[in-house]
Amino acid sequence: MEPSLLLMLSNLLHLQNQLDPTTSLLSDSPSSLSSSSSAAPLLFFTIASVLSYASTLHRPSPSSPPSSSSSPNTNHKNNNKTNPTSDQTLSAFRALSTSHIWSMEPLARDAQWRSSYGLSYPVFASLLDQLKPHILRSNLSLPPDYALSILLSRLSHAHSAKTLSTHYSLPPFLISKITNMLTRLLATKLYPDYIKIPSGHRLLQTIHSFKDLTNLPNISGAIDSTPIRLSHLPTDNPSAFRSRLNFPAVLLQVVSDHRNIFWDVCVKAPGATDDATHFRDSLLYARLTSAKILRDSTVTVRGHHVRPYIVGDWCYPLLSFLLTPFSSNATGTPAQNAFDAALMKARSPVEHAIGLLKGRWRILQDLNVGLNHAPQTIVACCVLHNICQIAGEPEPTLYKDPKESGPPARALENEKSFYYFGESLRQAMADDLQERHQRLLTR
């Protein structure tokens, strides 16, 4: 066996040691998760990386120009004839990204790749194998791996298309085309595989982990919203995009589990929209009100039947499937204040996840794409965030959003039944939490 292949397999085992065997999002089936949850991530990354390695055996040497097989069409040849600097940049990328990359010491290799593209090379290779068939069917005049590297460089460093055009010696319109095409693929083709509402074994695991964190039963996730700053204020209805923090933005709503992995993402509103309105306009709200999701694992608390629910802050309405704090300043009873403290612990994973998202994909700190492409770019970054979390990528420096404040959300008339049940349920859970705490003190 080739020494480089042996080293590659050794590095894959090193990667597997960093993976949480319970983090596979490839299937929500209870049977598949219970029987192969530890094997699925290793199998996925092994197959993807071996295929990526095998493909390098047939690639041209770094010193020779890429052949037509490296490109989906012959336009790439024409571009290189008129743009030799671009060909040199591609050759330099190819020299590093072929078998040479596996001969490097793993920590140095992955640190170098993360500094350029936001993730390690094995994760890059597996991501490429998922996207490559879709890229090859497009009319893109660049090799898929090179196009992916350009996209990740832009997302992780927040470079503008003009800046990257200088670095890669490619026209800005081509950089924008690559960004728009690949973010659309991530937001559509890969979204269903990596952003999934929990059910079965995964839902039970999420509930148990939140209970260990908060001592509250049946929490399935935490919801929060964050403004994504736009580089330019849209000229069409600009006041609608002016966020409460006084910068132009669109609103991102996410639901996270205990591992900082998003299981729902929504980008449907300009920055001036309040969190409650955005939530009510989302598909998640329609699914929750119709009880089409989170129906398993019902428990009873003081005579109340409690199905899995999500938690949010006071900017969201209190509903039977969305519990919020009694107050924002600890002015309730001891039982209510204890419940609020536990609920805020449950919200910490989603706040942490948003900090990781903006810290790793820095384009979300100042989104420099056209407004029409902003939602798909944001969703693509959320998909990449989950991929990095599943693969056990090191956490970047957290980005901290400025603190926002807003009036408490009120239930609408058509939500009254959900509100009244949520109100009685929240009080029952607060009393139950206080009683269990008292029993522990008297032992």
pLDDT tens for each residue of 290-320? 999 998 889 999 999 999 999 999 999 999 9
pLDDT greater at residue 224 or residue 297: 224
Same structural domain for residues 255 and 326? yes
- State the average pLDDT over residues 430-438: 93
- State the average pLDDT over residues 18-26: 39
The CB-side HSE value for 143 (13 A sphere, CA atoms) comes to: 24
Task: Extract the runs of DSSP E, i.e. beta strands, from 190-348.
Answer: 219-229, 249-256, 262-270, 299-301, 304-306, 309-311, 322-323
Same structural domain for residues 397 and 412? yes
How many Å separate Cα 31 from the centre of its chain?
A: 25
Q: Is the pLDDT of residue 12 over 80?
A: no
How many Å separate Cα 120 from the centre of its chain?
A: 16
pLDDT greater at residue 2 or residue 74: 2
pLDDT greater at residue 368 or residue 35: 368
Number of helices and strands in the chain (H, E): 17, 7
Same structural domain for residues 97 and 216? no
Same structural domain for residues 403 and 286? yes
Q: How sure is the predictor about 233, in pLDDT bands with cuts at 50, 70 and 90?
A: very high
pLDDT at residue 346, as a whole number: 97
CB 118 within 8 A of CB 148: no
pLDDT greater at residue 351 or residue 15: 351
Of 65-69, 123-127, 130-134, 227-231, the one with minimum mean pLDDT is 65-69
Same structural domain for residues 166 and 218? no
pLDDT in tens, 359-417: 999 999 999 999 999 999 999 999 999 999 999 999 999 999 888 777 789 999 999 99
pLDDT above 70 as % of the chain: 80
Q: How sure is the predictor about 358, in pLDDT bands with cuts at 50, 70 and 90?
A: very high
**Position of tokens 């081509």?**
174
- State the average pLDDT over residues 7-31: 43
Same structural domain for residues 60 and 134? yes
Of 141, 176, 193, which residue sits at a domain end?
193
Q: Is the pLDDT of residue 108 over 90?
A: no
Same structural domain for residues 164 and 288? no
- State the average pLDDT over residues 232-247: 93
**H-only helix segments in 98-233:** 106-117, 121-136, 144-157, 161-168, 172-185, 191-194, 200-214
Q: How sure is the predictor about 222, in pLDDT bands with cuts at 50, 70 and 90?
A: very high
Of 391, 47, 369, 422, the residue nearest 183 (C-alpha): 369
Of 193, 209, 236, which residue sits at a domain end?
193
Q: How sure is the predictor about 34, in pLDDT bands with cuts at 50, 70 and 90?
A: very low
Same structural domain for residues 156 and 267? no
pLDDT above 90 as % of the chain: 67
- State the average pLDDT over residues 58-73: 34
Structure token pair of residue 71? 């490109």
Same structural domain for residues 384 and 304? yes
pLDDT at residue 42, as a whole number: 45
How many Å separate Cα 76 from the centre of its chain?
A: 32
Q: How sure is the predictor about 89, in pLDDT bands with cuts at 50, 70 and 90?
A: confident
Q: Could you tell me the end-to-end alpha-carbon distance of the chain, in angstroms, rounded to an integer?
A: 64
CB 52 within 8 A of CB 128: yes
Q: Is the pLDDT of residue 99 over 80?
A: no
pLDDT at residue 28, as a whole number: 39
pLDDT in tens, 183-210: 999 999 999 999 999 999 999 999 999 9
**Average of per-residue pLDDT values in the chain:** 84
> Domain range holding 220?
200-442
pLDDT at residue 401, as a whole number: 86
Bridge pairing between strands 309-311 and 219-229 = parallel
Same structural domain for residues 31 and 60? yes
CB 153 within 8 A of CB 362: no
Q: Is the pLDDT of residue 78 over 80?
A: no
pTM for this model (two decimals): 0.80
Same structural domain for residues 114 and 150? yes
Q: Is the pLDDT of residue 54 over 50?
A: no
Of 51-55, 289-293, 337-341, 342-346, the one with minimum mean pLDDT is 51-55
Q: How sure is the predictor about 120, in pLDDT bands with cuts at 50, 70 and 90?
A: very high
Q: How sure is the predictor about 29, in pLDDT bands with cuts at 50, 70 and 90?
A: very low
Gyration radius from the chain CA atoms? 24
pLDDT at residue 109, as a whole number: 87
Tally of domains within the chain: 2
Same structural domain for residues 359 and 341? yes
- State the average pLDDT over residues 248-262: 98
Report the alpha-carbon distance of residue 313 to residue 327 in Å, rounded.
9
pLDDT at residue 11, as a whole number: 52
Q: Is the pLDDT of residue 16 over 80?
A: no
pLDDT at residue 402, as a whole number: 83
Of 175, 193, 211, which residue sits at a domain end?
193
